[in-house]
Structure 1
Amino acid sequence: MTNGDLEQVLGWRNHADVRRYMYTQHEIGLEEHKRWFEHARLDSSRHLLVFERDSVPVGFINIHEIAQGGIADWGFYTAPDASPGTGRLLGEAALCYAFHQAGLHKLCGQAIAYNQRSIKFHLNQGFKQEGILREQYFDGQQYHDVICFGLLATDSPVNI
């Protein structure tokens, strides 16, 4: 991800179909987004990636190494108007990057329990459900469980 990607990624992130599944659900302004990016891009434990399909940007991936030994969290989303199958391809590319380029041992993900697409996505990518954080997320009106996933490099279905 570069400065040139900021406005497009922000547009995707602020789209109602993406934002409703995020922990931070307010519309993010450009200045807030720029501050986040300036901080995140200087953090060597973060991998900020724009996924392209046929040389067109169609998704964002954030991999954050959180512990020694190659343990990382990830977050991602596709452009709201991305064609069917883009999410699967983004996932495969992200796993390939995480395990083969970044050399990670484990990738962890979370999904708010009402985000059935993300839950199904993680399972289809080979992740195992590792737990449920009960009533972990408060959306301002009610609490929601958070589903935790993990995928070890040795279990990844993605090969080079």
Structure 2
Amino acid sequence: MSSLTKPIFSIRVMTADDLDNVLAWRNHPDVRRYMYTQHEITLSEHRGWFERSSLDPRKHLLVFEADGTAVGFVNITELATPGIADWGFYIAPDAVKGTGQHLGRAALNYAFQTLRLHKVCGQALGFNDRSIKFHRNLGFCHEGTLRDQHYDGENYHSVICFGLLSPEWQPTI
């Protein structure tokens, strides 16, 4: 790709062929340290998670691509209340700067346009300044702080809660 060519971004349903990439990203120390579960996930655990999640119609496992190359993962889980979902995501640790914003916009377009959701909810550990800024930049509203809600085995951390309603979302063309 030349510097004059605009990259093509897309989002698609995750397949078993994506397991190795997604596991490698998830287990990378720069990603894992911001997760609720911080141990290194085994391939067997990962496969079991994928098999269970793939059978659950409320779970949408997605891969984000730049120019046809997988560079990120998104998990959208519909909750018991119709039209409401939680999301989680991460990008490949070696992804080009700015990839996260493109992933976020593509995932939210998918959530609101394809899945027809009313609201997407997100959470960030209180020390994850990049994720907090990321949510705000995408238009999410801060809906609350769960003080000392998460224990990582050594310390308690607050959880910052965000929400974005479909009428608030400004889709990309």
Q: Separation in 1 of the partners of 2:112 and 2:172?
A: 9
Shift of 1:67: 2.6
Tell me the SS of whatever aligns to 1:7: helix
Secondary structure of the corresponding residue to residue 67 of structure 1: coil
User: Which residue in 2 is equivalent to 1:26?
Assistant: 39
User: CA RMSD for the aligned pairs?
Assistant: 0.7
Distance in 2 of aligned mates of 1:11 and 1:159 = 30
Matched-pair identity in %: 63
1:50-61, aligned counterparts within 5 Å?
50-61=63-74
The Cα shift of 1:159 comes to 4.2
Any stretches of 5+ residues in structure 2 without a counterpart? Answer: 1-13
Q: Find the partner of 1:66 among 69, 75, 79.
A: 79
Q: Does 1:130 align with 2:173?
A: no
Q: Distance in 2 between matches of 1:95 and 1:35?
A: 27
CA distance in 1, matches of 2:172, 2:45: 37
The reply on whether 1:86 has 2:107 as its aligned counterpart is no
TM-score by length of 1: 0.98
State the TM-score, normalized to the length of structure 2.
0.91
2:117 is aligned with 1:99? no
Secondary structure at 1:123's aligned position in 2?
Answer: helix
CA displacement at 1:158 relative to structure 2:
1.9
Larger Rg: 2
Deviation at 1:157, TM superposition (A): 2.0
Code of the residue aligned with 2:34 in structure 1: it is: Y
